[in-house]
Amino acid sequence: MTTAASPSPHAVCQRELVEAAVLAPSPDNNQPWRFAPGPDGLAIDLDPRRALPSDVNSMFDLLGLGAAVENACIAARQLGFEPRVDYGAQPAGSVADLSRSAATITLSAGGRGDSLFPHLAARCTCRKLYSTRPLPDRSVDRMAWAARRFSAVELDWITDRPRIRTFARLLMKSDRIRFEYEPFHNEIFRQLRFSADEAERTRDGLDVRTLELPPGAGLILRKLRPWNRMKWVHRLGLGRLLTLPSALSVVRSGALGVLCVGEPTPTRFLEGGRALQRIWLSAHAEGLSMQPLGSLPIFVAHLEQLHGRKLSPQHERVVRKLIRRLEDLLPAARGKTLLIAFRLGYATAPKFRSLRRLAEDVTVGSTAEAPPP
């Protein structure tokens, strides 16, 4: 009598892992990943062609990559495999120019289904105004438990209304930098997709329909694409109006979360992305909506990690003040690397969702692989 052999990892349809991975969030939906199937699993690496100019040491891209890694691990367990993740490894057969910050998932038999698997495809960014009612302790505990899998990542909460309003004011000031500095302005408009046809053609970036803008605001935003027009907006003192929607969205939230790590290394960024994704999936399982808030962390990183090299002297002074106020608001974050903040609350599901590139478009060696637009 013979027993059935356990399935071998190389026999797994790795397309299923890639299809799960690409459902992960990424900065401005830039989808900065490439996948290389191997005999025992899958390598996931940065695609430098899709990097955002405002990113710092690939921090946000690696957060997205970490989220994709976690999705692939969740899918692997659902297929009956136990994943092991190694950071910085390049397995035999990977292409020579893959990033040194690669993560490799090695599969072995024996995985058990992950309770978060049903939420992979349903999770999305919701930019609507949320209910301000407090989150149940049970939900907060479950999200905190999700983050504790990654011991190097620290999760802090902002739950009282005065501190939420304070954070909203800080975010409004950091958002202004994105609109006031030409390279960051150009990056925003590079990522925006102003028509359904454009969103479908690229399957990346920010479909303006997902931004939950008031009627007519999308047209106004499109008119501000040329930098010369945006400069006039700032000269007239109207630039701050562009930041009001994000500040209002923070005020209209049930709670805020903040992720930090002790040191700004690729491995910590990847682990932060994995933690963020499990928090987000856990939030969805609790019936909560969620939206990342990236402008404050990225400009703090510009000062702390790049020493302000890409900031104007005026913006450097603004960021220094923001850091002091943030440390007063979150004393536990002092001396740590701020990775990402996010808001949570109850809201109806968004009508439109960001698209994702197809598995064959992001797999190394596929004939469909092409550079970004």
Q: What is the model's pTM?
A: 0.92
The CA-to-CA distance between both ends of the chain, in Å, stands at 58
Those residues with Cβ within 8 angstroms of residue 367's Cβ, 6 or more apart along the chain or in another chain: 360
Task: Please indicate whether the domains covering 9-122+353-361 and 137-345 agree at the CATH topology level.
Answer: yes
368 vs 363: CA distance, rounded Å? 8
Domain range list for the chain: 9-122+353-361, 137-345
Look at residue 7 and tell me whether its pLDDT is greater than 90. Answer: no
At 3, the pLDDT band (50, 70, 90 cuts) reads: very low
Comparing C-alpha atoms, which of 82, 77, 177 is closest to residue 117?
77
**Type of residue numbered 9:** P
User: What class has domain 137-345?
Assistant: alpha beta
Bridge partners (DSSP) of residue 337 are 261
At 10, the pLDDT band (50, 70, 90 cuts) reads: low
Domain 9-122+353-361 fold: NADH Oxidase (3.40.109)
223 vs 141: CA distance, rounded Å? 45
| Beta-carbon count within 10 A of 359 CB | 19
List alpha helices for the chain, DSSP H.
Answer: 14-21, 59-78, 137-147, 161-180, 182-191, 196-202, 217-223, 227-235, 244-251, 266-285, 295-304, 313-329
Question: Tell me: the pLDDT tens digits for 257-309?
Answer: 999 999 999 999 999 999 999 999 999 999 999 999 999 999 999 999 999 99
Torsion sign (Cα): 190, 196, 198, 204: positive
